Amino acid sequence: MSGTWANMTAADLGRGIGAGKINPVELAEAFLDRIETHPLAPRIYARATAARARGEAMAAAARAKAGLRKGLLDGVPVSWKDLFDTAGVATEAGSALLKGRTPGRDAAVLETATLQGLVCLGKTHMSELAFSGLGLNPVTATPPCLNHDKAVPGGSSSGAAASVAFGLAPAAIGSDTGGSVRIPAAWNDLVGLKTTAGTLPMTGTVPLCERFDTIGPLAHSVEDCAHLLTALSGEPVADLAGADLSGARLAVLETVALDDLRDRPAQGFEDGVARLGRGGAQIVRIKVPEVAEAMAMAAVVFTSEAYGIWREVIEAAPQKMFPRILERFRSGANVSAVDYVAAWRRLEAIRRRWAERTAAFDAILLPTSPILPPDADRLMTDDTYYVTENLLALRNTRIANLMGVCALTLPTAQPSCGITLMGAADGEARLLRLGSAAERALL
């Protein structure tokens, strides 16, 4: 495979197709060959969809030749997390509980993306039923991490991130319930977009917590994420032209998000904030005490819904699950309906308060994760280490899910240390434009 293609952004590959310099069929074959031969591919892809990719690439090539391309990414191949239904292809969500589950129809976003010309390379490994931010999955596979060969890659969109980081896909589609796009993106030096719940239809996806589940891209650039969001939604692409940080008001969230930061994530974040300031942004620091209150309710609103959705399936064969994930699901059984309803009513009030407190800012800044990717072997053998790292991994990303907003993680000068920009609910276009300017300042 051309090393150039393996390292190019999805947008640049799309421009190459549009200019007649790249044939979509040759491009798809190059990535399929890489999936077939790369030594790490079995830990990244649950299964490739070679026949589908070839057919879609041929159609894209015909459109390009006829001058009828659907958009910038028409003919660009991408990977899909193994919780998006794919017609006639197993979709098992990283779980032995769903082994052999083969849907008859594509997920809604996959249908839209196919109509927009994206080429489906295959399904990537993930955390079991998407219920872990670590990316550790001894049931199916634990994908590799770009910067740490003995570390977990982040989850639950673990294979999605690895497919892009290791050059086995130009971009990937994942899901994010509490940080599952942003953590693996950050730990593998990628850009990851968490959309607002409801922005993209979840029809045909294996659920975790339906009130929090969202879909988002992982890619090499903000531009890629903008065009991937368009391919998933069919809506116009965000305008990134001329994006500038001059006059942007950015607030560093001090409540919870800066607690217990390890040295390198702290260095990456502070360096990133300084670069954004030098790029023209006005930086202030804020506290929102209600965030701490919301975080304390996470166990109530997340685990109870997850177990409510999966209890019947899990308890029919609990021995098939990794005990740590089984334990996490079962913790939801202890939440009463009264507590669940009360927590959601309070969370909705906190969301309104958050919107009021942050309305004057273009984005809220925080470290994507307070920790570096943990050691995979130690997670399997050291109970205290597992509990500590698992709790910290998704702590910061969970804030955006609880507040009901969109968020974008960008790489910093420190490997595996991302900086997050949190936008407003339904503010993806504005956040992507700001993120494009921030991306340049962080280089």
Mind telling me the catalytic residues?
Answer: 81, 156, 180
Cβ neighbours for 402, distance < 8 A, ≥ 6 positions apart: 291, 294, 295, 297, 298, 301, 347, 350, 351
CA dist 7 and 195 (Å) reads: 25
CB 134 within 8 A of CB 374: yes
Give me the sheet containing 119-124, strands edge to edge. Answer: 45-48, 119-124, 77-81, 172-176, 214-219, 191-194, 407-411, 418-422, 363-367, 249-253, 282-286
Q: Which helix (H) or strand (E) holds 104?
A: none
3-state secondary structure of 106: coil
In degrees, rounded to 5, the angle at the alpha carbon of residue 163 between the alpha carbons of residues 161 and 164 is 70
Close Cβ partners of 376 (under 8 Å, ≥ 6 residues apart): 136, 142, 150, 151, 152
**Nearest of 250, 204, 291, 172 to residue 422 by alpha carbon:** 250
Q: Residue 222: count other Cβ atoms within 10 Å of its Cβ.
A: 28
In the structure encoding, which two tokens stand for residue 176, read together? 């994010």
Phi then psi for residue 336, to 5 deg, are: -80, 155
Beta strands 418-422 and 407-411 are: antiparallel
Residue 188's nearest CA partner among 167, 212, 214, 213 is 167
Q: Are 261 and 367 in contact (CB under 8 A)?
A: yes
User: What does the block give as tokens for 242?
Assistant: 């001329």
